[in-house]
Structure 1
Amino acid sequence: MTLGRIRELRQQQGLTLHQLAGLTGLSVGMISQVERGITDPSLETLRRISDAFGVPLFDLFREDEPEPVTVVRKDARRRVSSPQGQIVYSQVSRTGGRLELLEAAIEPGAASSGERRSHASEECVLVLTGRLRVEVGRDVYDLDAGDSCHFDSTIPHRFVNPHASVARYLVAVTPPST
């Protein structure tokens, strides 16, 4: 995985490796290794970096401006996962658009994040297989395959799988979350 865009964004924003490390809570060495493609960063590492830049996570992978029509082949999708691989996101849409479509697989007992997160977007999640719990604000919604949930992403939220089998789902985000 090449993440040269991180170096480009860091330089555009006039940040040193030390300053970016301070903003993200990551080590200078880790950021340097990610920029040079030496290490494969976790989902949480990428979230911290994209939050520091104020850009959608998958924008870290963007190399050029998108073409008017983009075909994303299944075996060429960009993927990110949690440190233990309990949740894997696969980007279905192109990078750099006003809509982000992700396919996810979440293992039993896993959550999309340790605590509920918010961002300036709206989301719609559609469960493909298994069962998924969607926590939005103080509310909890249990979804079965074929069910969907549309919500304002400025409300802290996360996805949880308290069930015994893997859940697969699609999530559309507009605009892509930062």
Structure 2
Amino acid sequence: MVCQNSDVLGERIRNRRREIGMTAQQLARAAELSPAQVSQIERGNNDPSLEALRRIARALNTPLFDLFSDRVDQPVRVIREADRMIIRSPHGGLSYSRVSPGSGQLEVLAGELEPGAASSDTLWSHPPSEECVLVSSGTLTLEVDSDTIELQAGDSAYFESLHPHRFVNNTDAMVSFTISVTPPSF
């Protein structure tokens, strides 16, 4: 996984854990990680995978991208393309850049999925939210529950995030898409 400074990320995870009164052992158990992994992540000695961060965020009842941003109250926030926070999967193949500032009621992510890649190894769900995906280029396969839907450039799909889901690129070309999630739970 490639993300911002591991020390800052670890500190935010530790602070959030303490804020909700959870021990490192409890976090490890809830996130299905070893206590050593949690300790290394919190100390900034481990660059966690996207899957590990998803588990930690879920255990902390926090949207994933909130682990990467400071809360700022401003009436208008501009996110320059060069300043976007980007997260890539450890295996490669998937990247998300945060288009929205975070800490609000709407999360917007620009995603790119390489040929043959998937957003996760298996279908997964997360806390109650509404998601809408819009394909900018390529063909994106959306798997939700037992349904498989192919979306072409310009197509969109809406679903509730409690339904296990994932995005797959079954083509030989890069797929670009935008995901909007409200409230943020990604």
TM-score, normalising length: structure 1: 0.91
Match of 1:21 in 2: 28
Q: Give the whole-Å Cα distance in 2 for the aligned partners of 1:32 and 1:66.
A: 31
Establish whether residue 97 from structure 1 lines up as the match of residue 95 from structure 2.
no
Q: List runs of 5+ in structure 1 lacking aligned partners.
A: none
CA distance in 2, matches of 1:148, 1:174: 16
Among the aligned pairs, what percent are the same residue?
49
> Is there any run of 5+ residues in structure 2 with no aligned partner, and where?
none
- Contact in 2 for aligned 1:61/1:95 (Cα 8 Å): no
Q: Distance in 2 between matches of 1:103 and 1:93?
A: 10
Measure, in 1, the Cα distance between the counterparts of 2:40 and 2:76: 33
Say which is worse superposed, 115-124 or 26-35, in terms of deviation.
Answer: 26-35
Q: Which amino acid aligns with 1:126?
A: L
2:60 corresponds, among 53, 63, 68, to 53
Tell me the number of residue pairs that the alignment of Structure 1 and Structure 2 aligns.
178
Q: Is contact 1:127-1:148 (8 Å) kept?
A: yes
Matched, 1:141 2:149: yes
Question: Is 98-107 or 1-10 further displaced after alignment?
Answer: 1-10
| Residue matched to 1:124 | 132
State the partner residue of 2:167. Answer: 159
Aligned to 1:173: 181
1:67-125, CA deviations, whole angstroms, 9 ceiling, x for partnerless residues? Answer: 22211111211122222121111111011110000011111111111222223111111
**Separation (CA, whole Å) in 2 of partners of 1:39 and 1:70:** 31
**Does the 8 A contact of 1:44 with 1:83 survive in 2?**
no
CA contact 1:132–1:167 (8 Å) conserved in 2: yes
Give the distance between the partners of 1:94 and 1:101, measured in 2 at CA.
8
Using the TM superposition, give the Cα deviation of residue 51 of structure 1 relative to its aligned residue in structure 2, in angstroms. Answer: 0.7
Whole-Å separation in 2 of the counterparts to 1:16 and 1:157? 30
Distance 1:152 1:92 in 2: 21
- 1:45-72 CA-to-partner distances (Å, cap 9, x unmatched) read 1101101111111111232343222111
Farther-moved stretch of structure 1 (95-104 vs 151-160): 151-160
